């Protein structure tokens, strides 16, 4: 690796270290405590932990089921949407947190079945033209892209609403961002090479 590449890699790592939310996807204050797990002192996004656990489980379960049950693209498509439907239900019905966690886990499996749907549809198309397989590919991609955009925006809006109601909203260094600001100052000092960065 060249010196330039090495420097750019280091910078990326440093930026990640000072990124205020890091793996949390939420401010790190008591108002968002419910949205993070603390693992070995690091706050990580609770939703992402459950989502990726589901994704890993899906990577094991889905190929096995696909082979043993001789799954076609229709079954994969229906399974994806059945697994996905728990996400909007959990967002709009506000069930207990543990149900939301389970919905995120199912969403992780749905991401794998979504991939399986597209692969099986392509296989179907390679065997011979099938308009339904083509429609399923477009529909699957459309549902994935629109729902991802919609739910990301919704999460940002909800986070903002919590902040706007918070008594610290107008504080320049509120509890939720103070860690990020301190890390940013530390990075600046580190880049300048002053004594603070060596502490």
Task: Give the footprint of ligand SF4 on this chain (CB under 6 A).
Answer: 27, 29, 31, 162-163, 166, 168-169, 174-177
Of 32 and 55, CB closest to ligand SF4: 32
Q: Minimal distance in Å, beta carbon 113 to ligand SF4?
A: 35
Of 28 and 66, CB closest to ligand SF4: 28
78, 24 contact by CB (below 8 A): no
Of 14 and 175, CB closest to ligand SF4: 175
Sequence-ordered list of residues with C-beta below 8 angstroms from that of 111, at least 6 positions apart, any chain:
51, 54, 55, 58
Of 15 and 158, CB closest to ligand SF4: 158
Residue 6 has a CB neighbour count (10 Å cut-off) of 10
Q: How far apart are CA 187 and CA 83, in angstroms?
A: 43
Residue nearest ligand SF4 by beta-carbon distance: 176
Q: Minimal distance in Å, beta carbon 34 to ligand SF4?
A: 12
Q: What is the H or E stretch that residue 175 is in?
A: none
């Amino acid at each position: 690796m060249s010196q330039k590449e090495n420097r750019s890699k280091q910078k990326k790592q440093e930026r990640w270290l000072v990124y205020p939310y890091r793996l949390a996807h939420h401010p790190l204050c008591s108002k968002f405590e419910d949205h993070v797990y603390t693992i070995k002192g690091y706050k990580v996004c609770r939703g992402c932990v459950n989502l990726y656990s589901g994704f890993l489980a899906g990577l094991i379960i889905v190929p096995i089921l696909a082979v043993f049950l001789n799954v076609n693209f229709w079954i994969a498509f229906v399974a994806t949407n059945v697994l996905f439907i728990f996400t909007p239900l959990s967002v709009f019905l506000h069930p207990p947190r543990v149900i939301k966690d389970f919905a995120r886990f199912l969403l992780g499996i749905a991401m794998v079945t979504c991939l399986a749907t597209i692969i099986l549809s392509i296989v179907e198309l390679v065997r011979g033209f099938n308009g339904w397989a083509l429609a399923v590919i477009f529909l699957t991609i459309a549902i994935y892209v629109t729902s991802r955009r919609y739910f990301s925006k919704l999460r940002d809006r909800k986070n903002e609403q919590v902040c706007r109601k918070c008594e610290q909203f107008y504080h320049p260094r509120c509890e939720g961002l103070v860690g990020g600001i301190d890390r940013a100052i530390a990075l600046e000092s580190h880049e300048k090479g002053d004594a603070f960065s060596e502490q």
